[in-house]
A and B are shown apart, each in its own frame.
Chain A
Amino acid sequence: MADDRFIYVTYIRTTQEKVWNALKEPEFTRQYFFGVTVESKWTPDSAWRMVHPDGKVTDSGKVVEIDPPRRLVLSWRNEFKPELTAEGYSRATFELETQGDMVKLTVVHEIAKQGSKLIEAVSGGWPIILSSLKSLLETGKPLERSQSK
């Protein structure tokens, strides 16, 4: 494959609506996503951005596809490390599927480039973020490691 990508899958014992809301509601993202809040109108083609508690925009892009509560595709560019910003836009796809009493959440983060530093950088973060999201939705508490960057 000519692209660079990572795929992460987690199973969360909750409802699809709760996972969907946790992906886009600031009061949730703040808890499991290293303290960042995600801002967007969540309509096709609208902009989205991720804001660190100190006010800096860390990542941004556009909503490419949104089909609640099943599928969300975002174009995604890092905005705080020049060498990552230079790689341009990547693509993050979130897919939700109910399986019995669990929700299968699949996150694919990909870029049309080999040896991407962005993909390398986000690949370390996603497992922590997704484990914390699972913990938050199942127990009401996020993981401590996911709370500050």
Chain B
Amino acid sequence: MSMDAVFRALADPNRRLLLDRLHARNGQSLNELCEGLGMSRQAVTKHLVILEDANLIAAIRRGRERFHFLNPVPINEIAERWIGKYERGRLQALAQLKKNLEGDHNG
């Protein structure tokens, strides 16, 4: 479950396309994901395995079919690692601004 696996999985345009399709409509079966794609069923299956290994998607079995869901946890971890820091800076700046402005009014 390394970040390398996440970036490797994201490096392929077809896999990003599959993620986009799940983002548009979550919880699709293999058949639904294959619809209208210029990829063989085997190729889609292979990409789904790589995405699942990277924890970017999760699948649940209901009856005979598996349904695939976008799993945003690893992407959130990436955001927290590199973007969270900047957001914190901005929040601190805002907090300081608020303090200064309120200080002006309230003595």
Q: Which residues of A contact B (CB under 8 A)?
A: 1, 5-11, 102, 106, 108, 127-128, 130-131, 134-135, 143-145
Chain B 55-85 per-residue mask, 1 if CB under 8 angstroms from chain A, else 0: 1001110100001010111011100100010
Task: Give bound CA distance, A1 to B65, whole Å.
Answer: 11
Given A6-B69, A127-B72, are A1 and B58 also a contact pair (CB < 8 Å)? no
Do the beta carbons of B73 and A130 come within 8 Å of each other? Answer: yes
Chain B, Cβ-Cβ closest to A106? B58
Contact present for B72 and A1 (CB under 8 Å):
no
Among B27, B62, B67, B84, chain A packs the most CB atoms within 10 A around the CB of B27
Contact B71 A145 (CB under 8 A): no
* Residues in B neighbouring A106, C-beta threshold 8 A: 58
Q: How far is the CB of A149 from chain B (nearest CB, A)?
A: 14
Contact of B73 among A8, A102, A108, A143 (CB under 8 A): A8
- In the complex, the chain A residue whose C-beta lies closest to that of B79 is A131
